[in-house]
Amino acid sequence: MSERKEIWQLAVHTLDKHKATDIQVLDVQAITPIADFFVLATGGSANQLRSLSDYVERELGQEGYTPLRSEGYNTGEWITLDYGDAIIHLFRAEVRAFYDLERLWTDATAVDITPYLVQENE
């Protein structure tokens, strides 16, 4: 029996497959009770962010995961999908640069996502 993939692994693969850019995963479990992992990704427009959000929800849903809550879908500037263990942050580039979560969470551990990228698995 195969081990169930973690939410962040599925999200990274889905985001990469659908052309999100600058995908990063931060392991925050040692520094906050909010979540274990933050997934950060950038999209080029509000429409692309909404599409990325839809793809993530659909593909994670097929694996039995549903978000506890989501925010930002209507504006399409910064969409968050909260899956409990992982929070997925989808940004337009200028919004991501402004809020700079990577700097805010500098104590987090960066996760190697290379095995979950589409081009690595083809």
98 within a domain of the structure (yes/no):
yes
119 within a domain of the structure (yes/no):
no
Percent of the chain with pLDDT over 90: 91
Q: Convert the pLDDT of each residue in 76-94 to its tens digit.
A: 999 999 999 999 999 999 9
54 within a domain of the structure (yes/no):
yes
Domain span holding position 62: 7-110
The number of domains in the chain is 1
115 within a domain of the structure (yes/no):
no
Q: Given CA atoms 102, 69, 4, 90 in this order, what sign does their dihedral have?
A: negative
28 within a domain of the structure (yes/no):
yes
20 within a domain of the structure (yes/no):
yes
* pLDDT at 118 (0 to 100): 84
Q: What is the CATH number of the domain that holds 71?
A: 3.30.460.10
66 within a domain of the structure (yes/no):
yes
> pTM for this one?
0.92
* pLDDT at 120 (0 to 100): 46
Angle between helix axes 7-17 and 46-62 (nearest 10 degrees) is 130
Q: State the average pLDDT for the chain.
A: 92
